[in-house]
Amino acid sequence: MLDFIAQLEQRVQNTKLELGAAEKRSAEVSAEVERLTSAVTAYESALAAEKRMRGLPADTEQPEVAPEPEATDLLGHRKPTNGINKTAFVHDLLIKAGRAGLTGDDVYRALEKASLRVHRNYVYNIMGRLKLTGAAEQRDGRYYVKGG
């Protein structure tokens, strides 16, 4: 019986490590997509401007100026257009919880109460990002603001 429990505990630890690595790769891919999207927009703008200068019809209607960089919060997370950054919201929840900390279910219920509908798994995505940035830590199944 104890061997089975030990195996499950080991699988939990291994899966957590895999999840952390996957979340890191996901963040890297997202950053690369943003960089490439900006580059494409800039090149399309330059191409359209060059075509106009030479009297050629522009194939695309791209803005002349590259878009403003997206605003970010203190943790470097993008601020969504609806004005509520879920990661920052959860970080604030952890700060308010203090030494009591929060479980994933606590966070999910708080997001629902604030009318921020997310999939349950997204809560753990947020928590993973907060852990990767050093803003949060996990102990005994609860999440705490780093140093809390």
**In CATH, 71-148 is 4.10.520.10:** no
Distances (CA, A) of 74 to 10, 92, 127, 133: 35, 12, 16, 11
Q: Is 112 helix (H, G, I), strand (E, B) or coil?
A: helix
What span, in angstroms and rounded, lies between the C-alpha atoms of 11 and 140?
16
Q: Where are the domains of the chain?
A: 1-69, 71-148
pTM of the predicted model over 0.75: no
Residue-wise pLDDT for 73-91, tens only, equals 555 655 554 567 888 889 9
Residue-wise pLDDT for 108-122, tens only, equals 999 899 888 889 899
What span, in angstroms and rounded, lies between the C-alpha atoms of 144 and 146?
6
Which neighbouring-strand residues pair with 144? 137
